[in-house]
Each structure stands twice: as structure tokens, then as C-alpha cells.
Amino acid sequence: MEAAIKAILLENSQELFGLNIDDKLIQFQNTRKDVEGDLTLVIFPFVKILKVSPIDAGEKIGAFLSAKLDFISSFNVVSGFLNFVISDQYWLSQLKEMDTNETYGYAVKNSKDTVMVEYSSPNTNKPLHLGHLRNNFLGYSVAEILKANGHKMVKTQIVNDRGIHICKSMLAWEKFSPLNEKGERETPQNTGIKGDKLVGKYYVEFDKQFNIEANEIIAGWENGNFDSFPEAVIEEFNRLANSKTGKDEKVTAGLDAKIKELAKNQTTLLRDAKEMLIKWEGRDPQVYLLWTTMNSWVYEGFEATYEAMGVDFDKMYYESDTFILGKDLVADGLSRGIFFKKEDGSVWIDLTEDGLDEKLVLRADGTAVYMTQDIGTANDRYKDYPDLGGIIYTVGNEQDYHFKVLFLILEKLGFSWAKNCYHLSYGMVELPKGMGRMKSREGTVVDADDLMAGIVNSAKEMTQERGHLEGMSGEDKDTLYNLIGMGGLKYYLLKVDPKKKLVFNPEESIELNGNTGPFIQYTHARIKSLLTKAEKIGDVPSVDLKLEETEIVKHLVQFPSVISDAGKNYSPALIANYTYDLVKLYNSFYQSVSIFKEKDEDLKMMRLILSRNVSKVIYLAMKLLGVDVPEKM
């Protein structure tokens, strides 16, 4: 519609305006609700050209377009806005066109360049948590939306399977895992504990013992026991301790925290973890065997969680591989003067001229940091996929600075594709009632498996209370409970703009009313039930549309552009809220307009076809969010 109007204005520019106009002057917007019309053309850009008032300019352009385009049934001008009323026949033609297209709104498959979307990217020292749920659902949905826009898609993750945090779990398992009657330490097999949770248990245990040892060191310092500690450490402790004299509670707490950090760096646990990391990078056989064993436990646990989430991946990358590639690139950059080495042997890059800071890329002991492996991973991906049009990193906004630095380093290393890397930064998930942030090392994490199971169980209880489960087998009921619970969870986490922080309320997520997944699912099931009753649905007849029917068709017509906008903005929220608005329109129509009691067969047929396309668009839209919709509910 907009394209047809634009084409007429451009083709007849000389006749209408006396000159060739720039297509940028042609601007459309949605018609105000208090004005009659379906589409509005902004007239102000043409007033100077025509040298008349906005009203006269609108009348002239409106009359011209009405004579040229059959689908304009009437028009009106309000100030500098030309409002078109579109004919019923146009809307019916659009309904007929979408009715013949099972993937209405989706672009031609693989018609655009390849895009890689990274999401999840967990550490192998702990299970997935609530934050990972938003990350996975967001990354998966963005990938599906880009696929619907015609892009070839590669879904990937980088598994953080190396580093000091991994060694902490390994070391704690070696030191603190109890022996059973067979002399075996704890494993998933002999305890029945899910592998990622077992490893996570020892990450928490490390932190517990780490704090105990640090507190013992501080107690010793306070009693004058400084045996075996470096002189510099003793001096720093004395300086911090003496600084507390006469200070208020807030300042004292800050100084205590610095003392605690100083003590932690002197613990045997941290020293042993650092030594284990060096041994791992040197491929020490015993350390490497422990690493592969414990990682295998975690991967098996992750796989079960991903299956429950309903997400998948096309290609896996592992930091244990890519950190080596990163170290090679750092060595090359060092030789070219891109990086510099400090006296302690650590390697850095100076980005102060770019408005940033100095950034560590290699530790003094030669071990890699996150930046090292991210450099290697990015380069490895472009080698694997030479046709890659871009990489989208789905990572929380706490890492905004990290990705600014990463992309800048890649540019300085000479990789032209660095400009095609994008950080899909999203807000953190918070809990209601001031429960605060999640800290996994303290053992207070909201576990993803437990959360999903709890929501599915709540959906089960809600559905059983409502009834309407007659004729369903036990297996079908369980499938429905899972579909409602997971649909509610995903929709709740995706309906909010990714950039905004999110307060997650499990109870609200499965409510049957309001902007929720189950509300949309229920409407889809209602339409499917209605269509099942219809004996036969034919072609779109020529009828006069009621306002409610026109509004629904108009909304359906917007679906392709919503998918396009969601892809450009990497925002599943646009899809979610579009679908909610569609469902509200349909429910209003359903309550005010009869379908099966309608005596006019053409009207009945049109309403059935309209309903069929609403259900189809609900299905296609929710599919982009990773949400299944039921046939019966």
C-alpha cells in the first residue's frame, strides 16, 4: 500500500509538483485513533513545493491519488496530515493473499547472507541459572527472527571450559570430595547428582574454604603472626589496618574488604588453583585427565538443560582450543607493536587514544585471559565461515566495555570483518521483593532446572484447577503442562525490550490474563477448536467488513514489517507485543461478532478465514520466540 502510493507520487512528480521529488520526502505514519483513516501521509514536506497551505496541499495530493489508486475509498486532511480510508476490497485481497501462504511474513529461506548468533556460553564450573534463561531464549529467538528475515543462520556458543574458575572446582573436588565405602570420590554416577550441579557444588565449596582460610590469615595478622608472608603484604596490611582508626562505618567496611582481598591472595587454595591452571596449559597428564572427566559431567548436564529449554546449536567452540589461537594473535600483534609488554612480562594494549584504557591480553605467567580467547574465537569463526556477514554476541550489559575493547582490538589487528561484530547487550534479570542479584559462588543462584520444573508444575496445578482436560491421555497432559509453563516463561522473558533490566515473577508468567504466553496460547487453542467445528472453509468472499474485522486484517498485514523491524533491532519484544495486540483484537472481535450463528454464508466464511489466519500468525510469531502453541487447552 505505502509502496504503491510512493510509486505513483514519484512517477507523476512533474505533473503533481512541477519537479522531480526526492523519495525521502514521502513519509507515512499510523493514523491517529481519533481520526478516520487507515494510513496517513505527512504533507508538510510538500507545502513549500506547492506553495499552498497544508490543507490545500493535502486536498490536491489526496484527490490525485484517489483518482489513480482504486484501493483509496476516501480521504480527509487534518492540518498537515492526509488520511486515507482504504477500501474493504483491498483488505480482503490482502487476506486472500496471506491465506495462501503458510509461512506468511517470512522471507525466502537463505536469501540473505550468513549471520552467526552466539548465546549461552556457560562456564563449566556451575549449572545454568535464571540469567542464562534470558540469554538463551533471547539468543535463540534473535537467531530465529533473522532466519525468518532470510538470513542463513549459525547458532553457536563458546564454552568457557578453561581458566582459574574451572581449576577452583577441580581443586575443591580433589581436596574436599568425601570417599564412599569403595574409596571413590563423588561422581554423577555414584551420587545420582546431575553433572553440572555436582561440579557447581565444588565451586561453592572452594569459595567456602577460600573464605575460611582467608579469615584465618586475617586473624593471624591481627595477632601479629606474619610468618612466611612477604614484607610488602605485611606493610600493606598494617597500612590498611591503621587507616581504620577514627573512620566511619562505611570507610571501615571498605578497608576490611581490601584486607580480605589481600588475605585471599595469600591463601594456599588460590596458590594451588593458579598452579593447577599453569599445569593445565602445560598439558600436565593428571590435571588434564581430571579436567576432561569433570567437563564431561558438566556437558551431559548442560545437554539435559538445553533440551528442557528447547534451544539448540549448530556449532560449538571451546575456549580450551581458541585461547591458543588468541595467544598466537597476541604474539603477532606484539611483534607489530600493537601490544606492549610490561616489566613483569604481562602483555597489554593501550587504547587511551581511543577514549578507553589499557587492557591486559596476557598475564605475566603467560596464561590467557578472556580477551585472549575472544580474539582467537572471533578469528576462528571467520575462518570456518568465510561468507559470514556478521557475529552477534548475546551477552549481558555488564560486558559492554569488554566488547568495545574486543572489537577495537580486532580492528587494530587488521581484521576488516570486525565492523560486522555486534554486542547484543541485554539487561540483567532481577528477582522481586528486593531479593537482589544472583551470585553463583555463594550458592544462592536461581537454578535454571529448578526454575523450569517449578513453573511447569505451577502450570500443571493451574490447568488441573481449570479442568477441560477430558479425553487427554496422561502423556498429552504432561506435554500440555510443559508447553504452558515453558511458553509462559519464555514469553515473560522476551516481551521486555532486551536493553531493559527485567524483574522476573514466576507466578505472573503463567497467568491466563494479560500480556502473557498462556493468554496467547489459549486464544490459539480457542481458534483451533472453532475451526475444527467448521465443515469446510473455501475462498475469501466479497463482503462488507465491520470495523473489528478491518482492524484485524490491518494488523495481520503489518506482520512482515514487524518481523523485519525485529530483525533490524534484534528485539523479540517487538514480535511478542505485536502478537499480544493481535490476540486482544481477535478476542474483542470474537466477543462482539457472531461466527456460526451468522446467517450470511459469505460473512461466516470470511470470518472463518480471518480466524484461520489469526491462528496462523500467532503460531508463526510464537515460533520465532521459541514458544509452542497448543491445539487444545
Convert the pLDDT of each residue in 76-107 to its tens digit: 999 999 999 999 999 999 999 999 999 999 99
- What pLDDT score does 445 carry? 67
Give me the CATH topology for the region 164-229+266-430.
Rossmann fold (3.40.50)
Domain limits, CATH 3.30.1360.70, in the chain: 2-86
- Strands 72-78, 39-42: pairing kind: unpaired
Query: What secondary structure letter does DSSP report for 52?
Result: S
**Other C-beta atoms lying within 10 Å of the C-beta of residue 569:** 15
Tens-digit pLDDT profile for residues 339-352: 999 999 999 999 99
DSSP-based three-state secondary structure for 381:
helix
Tens-digit pLDDT profile for residues 101-155: 999 999 999 999 999 999 999 999 999 999 999 999 999 999 999 999 999 999 9
Output the CATH code of domain 2-86: 3.30.1360.70
Taking residues 21-48, what's their average pLDDT?
95
**Angle separating helix axes 285-309 and 130-148, nearest 10 degrees:** 70
Taking residues 556-563, what's their average pLDDT?
97
- What pLDDT score does 440 carry? 43
| Cβ-contact 511, 518 below 8 angstroms | yes
Q: Rounded to whole angstroms, how far apart are CA atoms 472 and 454?
A: 22
| 110: region left, alpha or beta (phi > 0 left; psi from -120 to 50 alpha) | left
Q: Which of 65, 133, 188 is nearest to 426 (CA)?
A: 133
Instruction: Please report which residue ranges of 157-245 form alpha helices under DSSP H.
Output: 164-176, 188-191, 195-222, 231-243
Tens-digit pLDDT profile for residues 289-330: 999 999 999 999 999 999 999 999 999 999 999 999 999 999
Tens-digit pLDDT profile for residues 503-558: 988 889 999 999 999 999 999 999 999 999 987 888 999 999 999 999 999 999 99
- What pLDDT score does 438 carry? 43
- What pLDDT score does 431 carry? 73
Does residue 435 register a pLDDT over 60? no
| Cβ-contact 157, 313 below 8 angstroms | yes
Taking residues 165-177, what's their average pLDDT?
97
| CA distance from start to end of the chain | 37
The overall average pLDDT reported for the chain is: 94
- Exposure string over 583-614, b if 16+ CB within 10 A, otherwise e: bebbeebbeeeebeeeeeeebbbbbbbbbbbb
Phi first, then psi, for residue 487 (nearest 5°) are: -65, -40
Beta strands in 280-400 (DSSP E): 315-318, 340-341, 347-350, 358-362, 388-396
- What pLDDT score does 444 carry? 57
Does residue 437 register a pLDDT over 50? no
Q: Rounded to whole angstroms, how far apart are CA atoms 542 and 279?
A: 77
Q: Rounded to whole angstroms, how far apart are CA atoms 458 and 506?
A: 9
Domain limits, CATH 1.10.730.10, in the chain: 448-624
- What pLDDT score does 535 carry? 78
Cell 548475546 found at: 394
Tens-digit pLDDT profile for residues 440-492: 444 456 899 999 999 999 999 999 988 778 888 999 999 999 999 999 999 99
* CATH 1.10.730.10 is held by the domain 448-624: yes
- What pLDDT score does 538 carry? 87
Between the CA atoms of 339, 344, 345 and 351, what dihedral angle is there, to the nearest 10 degrees?
-10
Tens-digit pLDDT profile for residues 46-71: 999 999 999 999 999 999 999 999 99
Residue type, 602: D
- What pLDDT score does 67 carry? 96
Domain limits, CATH 3.40.50.620, in the chain: 164-229+266-430
